Amino acid sequence: MLPNLAGLQKLAYRDGMRFAIADPPYIGQAAKHYGDHPDYAGEVDHDELIARLCADYHAWALCCSSPSLQTILALCPEEVRVGAWVKPFASFKPGVNPAYAWEPVIFYGGRKRGRDLPTVRDWVAENITLKKGLSGVKPAAFCFWLFEFLGCEPGDHLHDLFPGSGAVTAAWESWCARKTGAAIQSPLFAEALG
């Protein structure tokens, strides 16, 4: 049973909101891309994952693939929104035409953005990363888009449930530092914002 979003939003966020970013392997691709990775634990159970996201977090973003979208949306609460990460430069596979060059992201909950804030689009255009030593490392600009879309604020608690390279957490630290005016330490941040 999924909890009710309106009920969750009535909670007081005195100590910051709890956000999760879930970037699991694509359905059916876990063994191929991550079979020899230390945190590989077979196929991810998306039913269990989405129930846990709803139970444990005020808001979340779940990365998926266009072929898995129908399956995953059927497991989600009605209130979710779907955003798109479009990849001007993407990896083309021989014999796959049209190419898969975008990735859906499912969003649930988050802070309402006031009129004082710039309007966030429901898509972001950013190239894939290369030569990071892991398949699917997320670019910093993509992560910043997730944080803005969800209405995150410094002081919130962000849990990166499938950390891989650690790029999402590194981007979170950089984004928070930028928002609070603290020194920007991560090269990821400078790379994305110039």
Where on the chain is the footprint of ligand SAM (CB under 6 A)?
23-25, 30, 34, 37, 39-42, 44, 134, 136-138, 162, 164-165, 167-168
Distance, CA of 4 to CA of 37 (rounded, Å): 36
**By the 8 A CB rule, do 188 and 140 touch?**
yes
Q: Which is nearer to ligand SAM, 40 or 92 (CB)?
A: 40
Smallest distance from the beta carbon of 152 to ligand SAM, in angstroms? 16
Continuous H helices in the chain: 5-9, 30-34, 46-56, 69-73, 140-150, 167-180, 187-193
Smallest distance from the beta carbon of 129 to ligand SAM, in angstroms? 8
Smallest distance from the beta carbon of 85 to ligand SAM, in angstroms? 12
Q: Which is nearer to ligand SAM, 39 or 78 (CB)?
A: 39
Smallest distance from the beta carbon of 158 to ligand SAM, in angstroms? 12
Q: Which is nearer to ligand SAM, 84 or 137 (CB)?
A: 137
And the tokens for 88? 């001007």
**By the 8 A CB rule, do 83 and 149 touch?**
yes
- Report angle CA 127, 131, 132 to the nearest 5 degrees: 90
Continuous H helices in 35-119: 46-56, 69-73
Q: Which is nearer to ligand SAM, 11 or 31 (CB)?
A: 31
Q: Which residue is nearest to ligand SAM (CB)?
A: 164
Smallest distance from the beta carbon of 24 to ligand SAM, in angstroms? 6
Separation in Å, CA 116 to CA 84, 113, 185: 24, 8, 28
Q: Which is nearer to ligand SAM, 34 or 85 (CB)?
A: 34
